[in-house]
Structure 1
Amino acid sequence: MIEIVKATTDQQLVIIEQLAEKIWKAHYIPIIGTKQVDYMLDKFQSFTAMKQQILDGLEYYELKFNKESVGYIGFKNEEETVFLSKVYVDADYRGKSIGKKAIQFVEKQAKDRGKKGVRLTVNKYNENSIAVYKKMNFEVVDEVVADIGQGYVMDDYVLIKNI
């Protein structure tokens, strides 16, 4: 059974931090390298970073499969859309519709909040994720290169799904 549980405790954020380290290192090192992954984990997915993001309006949710934490999502309201900042599922649990259910959950949140759609960014070389988003009717609407410090950039596509 798939559950989506809002992260409201420090303990949940520690679990998400641990999931991020496992998932990111397995998935992103081949795409952007170890040094950038380590930098981005510290900057964006550390306990301290997540606490600040929550203060800034980001909502984190644990993704559970048979009561085990296997991934997480993070999103926040924008003027016309909900920005899906994070959607990550442990590789051992992919193919079980967990990511799909998580994205559908965010779409429902957007609709319930009176938003026109869901917006996200994805690394241009993250081909598997891009294919999944397109299968779920997200469309590439822009490209963006964002300087994230220490000489690193995020080279992304911007995708939107209207709801």
Structure 2
Amino acid sequence: MKLIQATAGDIPMIQELARRSWENAYAEILSQEQMDYMLSEMYSEKEIGTQLHNPNYHYYLIQDTDHDAYEGFIGYELHYEEKTTKLHRIYLIPESKGKGLGKRALEFLTEKVDESGDSRIILNVNKFNAARNFYEAQGYRVYDEGVFDIGNGFVMDDYLMEFLIHK
């Protein structure tokens, strides 16, 4: 596995990987209308481009070097809060699950966060998303929950999770 820092030229690949992973991860959780809305808002070329211009926001493509294929991505923002990095997104296409790519991507994130001086990683996960179990297996814990209005009559009903880096 290799993590490759994404550039503006990778936006179409990020959009396609997001679409493929969301169709699997959220098919039973969100309506097609909400998925379409969220993908168009969160993964528009403008939105990703803005994030790529933020010096604290980083996207990395997850490459399966055994198969020379891009299988997902991770997007995170250093110094989101004091001493805290926010993992905004980590997605893998369905056929890549179970290969250890997600676990290794989180290990990579922990290294990057530690190097930055932050000591905490936070993320939101949908209350009905099985990914919560994956995060808990990697040492993350639920510290709160929230319902967030995302516009167009839709909300995100999430657990807020954290991982503390012990130095």
Q: Normalized against structure 2, the TM-score is what?
A: 0.92
Note if contact 1:122-1:130 (Cα within 8 Å) is conserved in structure 2.
Answer: yes
Distance 1:161 1:90 in 2: 24
Q: 1:111 aligns with which of 110, 114, 133?
A: 114
Q: 1:144 aligns with which of 140, 143, 146?
A: 146
Q: 1:98 aligns with which of 81, 101, 114?
A: 101
Q: Which runs of 5+ in 1 are unaligned?
A: none
* Aligned residue identity for 1:117: R
In the TM superposition, what are the counterparts of 1:1-163 in structure 2 within 5 Å? 2-10=1-9, 12-56=10-54, 57-66=56-65, 67-77=68-78, 78=80, 79-126=82-129, 128-163=130-165
* Aligned residue identity for 1:121: N
Q: How far 1:80 moved relative to its partner?
A: 1.4
Distance 2:76 2:147 in 1: 20
Q: How far 1:46 moved relative to its partner?
A: 2.2
Q: How far 1:116 moved relative to its partner?
A: 1.2
Identity %: 32
Match of 1:31, SS state, is coil
Point out the more displaced range, 44-53 or 144-153.
44-53
Q: How far 1:23 moved relative to its partner?
A: 1.0
Report the CA distance shift for 1:129/1:29 in structure 2 as closer, same or farther (over 3 A).
Answer: same
Match of 2:29, SS state, is helix
Note if contact 2:5-2:59 (Cα within 8 Å) is conserved in structure 1.
Answer: yes
* Aligned residue identity for 2:86: F
Note if contact 2:8-2:49 (Cα within 8 Å) is conserved in structure 1.
Answer: no
Note if contact 2:147-2:155 (Cα within 8 Å) is conserved in structure 1.
Answer: yes
Distance 1:30 1:109 in 2: 33
Note if contact 2:86-2:122 (Cα within 8 Å) is conserved in structure 1.
Answer: yes
Match of 2:99, SS state, is coil
Distance 1:117 1:124 in 2: 21
Between structures 1 and 2, the one with greater helix share = 1
CA RMSD of aligned residues (A): 1.1
Distance 1:37 1:81 in 2: 28
Distance 1:65 1:47 in 2: 25
Where does structure 1 differ by over 4 angstroms across 4 or more consecutive aligned residues?
Answer: none
